[in-house]
Amino acid sequence: MKTDLFINNDWVAAASGDRFPVVNPATEDVIADVAKGGPDDVDAAVDAARTCFESDEWRSLNPRDRGHMLAKAADLLAGRRGEIAELETRQNGKLLFESKIDISISVETLRYYGGWADKITGDTLPVSGPFFAYTLREPVGVVGAIVPWNFPLNIATWKYAPALAAGCTVVLKPASETPLTALAMAEVMLEAGFPPGAFNVVPGGGSTAGTALVKHPGVDKISFTGSTEIGKQIMREAADTVKRLTLELGGKSPNIVFADADLKAAVKGAQNGIFYGKGEVCAAGSRLLVEASVHDEVVEQLVERAKRLEPGDPLVRETRLGAIVSKSQQETVMSYVEAGKREATLVAGGNARDVNGKGYFVEATVFDDAKPGMKIVDEEIFGPVLAVMTFDGVDEGIALANETMYGLAAGIWTKDIKKAHRVAQRIRAGTVWINTYNMYDPAAPFGGYKASGYGRDLGRESLDGFLETKSVWVAL
């Protein structure tokens, strides 16, 4: 297991010599002692990325060869899927089969952007006068990628893969809870042939290494995924250097069940929407909006299903609910559960748990009779806690769905295809799932409206965030 910083294709200790422990939240075991990057290390990594970006070696590299390197990294990662998935589960607490899905999406993302590397083109422009004009799409420069702990390798890949495809170089700062798979990925990138400085990994704290990256004049762009609170802080700190920003922030996504839905599918979708990944999912369907006439039936089925999700060892195949990422996150989630007990009706779960006396677990929890204005409805909990509300008719459903500062995702359950598309258009969110939930694909842009951020990960659109457009005029 790699536990040092990865800078300029070298494994190095932190300049300070400091290290920090990584804890398995399902067992409370310390599983690694990782070099703790600080401002000096960020400086070294940015210098390496800058030098690489400006080097003849990188500049003269054919885009197709960059694409081949990404494809090779995909193959190498695929070959290590089981091992790296297990590492992801051990540092994050999520179920092993979910970690395997994460690694598979990372592999596909690398392949997808490997394919884009030689297909980035400008336009010829119909300007007036005796001129020929065209645009060049050029890499924005050095990219700082700052990512959260919930999909550690996956979300990192959503950033460094398109950045490298566009011709940028990257300094990746993983979350301090989950640095290990990013470091494993550095091994992969080295073997895939990326030159020194193209891809660097500096684990460390947010307020130290993270802030240093955001403020660094040698960084041209920050691509951040994390909380809305830190996103706002990054916007302020990026102002002095006029940094480009992509911000993927929090969510409180509505999952809307109309009375004419396939209720069995809707309940299953509601369950996956909130309990997949222990609810530590930015797009989690954490507000379940149920049309009044089917409310009792939906809640009854949902409660039955929630009660079957027994917390357990996430490495064991039969387990259906893993560990919360950390003790402090467990405490945060439980403080919302306690608020919910005061303001709404608890119908399933509601307790912190351990497994064999260890670990940070929370039961699959459902609150009924929830309403806007309650903490459990208005705030992102980032845990396995669902707030159920009722509505009557399409307009009320849409209004309730949009009654949030967030706009990351939404689910719609109905057999009426016209209604489904009409409602999809009126939801202010970056992704809408109709009769499904939690679907991701490298080809589908992902990101937020409103306080869920701006810019997009994935798809062709993500590349725009790593490119500048230059207009070139030629007198004829």
113 SS3 class: helix
User: Whole-number minimum distance, CB 77 to ligand NAD, in Å?
Assistant: 20
Residues engaged in binding ligand NAD (CB under 6 A): 146-150, 155, 173, 175-176, 206-207, 210-211, 214, 225-227, 230, 233-234, 248-251, 282, 380, 382, 408, 448, 452-453
How far apart CA 369 and CA 383 sit, in angstroms, is: 19
How far apart CA 157 and CA 88 sit, in angstroms, is: 14
Counted residue by residue, the chain has a size of: 476
Tokens matching residue 121: 């083109």
Q: Scanning the structure block, which residue is given the tokens 């009320």? A: 396
User: Whole-number minimum distance, CB 452 to ligand NAD, in Å?
Assistant: 6
User: Whole-number minimum distance, CB 245 to ligand NAD, in Å?
Assistant: 12
Identity at 283, one-letter amino acid code: A
Residue 207 or 436: the one with the smaller Cβ distance to ligand NAD is: 207
User: Whole-number minimum distance, CB 294 to ligand NAD, in Å?
Assistant: 29
Q: Beta strand pairing status for 131-139 and 467-475?
A: antiparallel
User: Whole-number minimum distance, CB 397 to ligand NAD, in Å?
Assistant: 23
- Rounded CA Rg of the chain: 23
Residue 166 or 182: the one with the smaller Cβ distance to ligand NAD is: 182
Residue 135 or 227: the one with the smaller Cβ distance to ligand NAD is: 227
Which residues are tagged catalytic? 248, 282
Tokens matching residue 373: 């204005």
How far apart CA 347 and CA 296 sit, in angstroms, is: 12
Residue 32 or 347: the one with the smaller Cβ distance to ligand NAD is: 32
Q: Could you tell me which residues come within 8 angstroms of residue 107 by beta carbon, excluding any fewer than 6 positions away?
A: 74, 77, 78, 81
* Residue 201, H or E segment: strand 199-201
How far apart CA 118 and CA 37 sit, in angstroms, is: 34
User: Whole-number minimum distance, CB 416 to ligand NAD, in Å?
Assistant: 30
How far apart CA 151 and CA 280 sit, in angstroms, is: 9
Residue 148 or 311: the one with the smaller Cβ distance to ligand NAD is: 148
Do 297 and 263 form a contact (C-beta atoms < 8 A)? yes
DSSP 7-51: ETTEEE--TT--EEEEE-TTT--EEEEEE---HHHHHHHHHHHHH
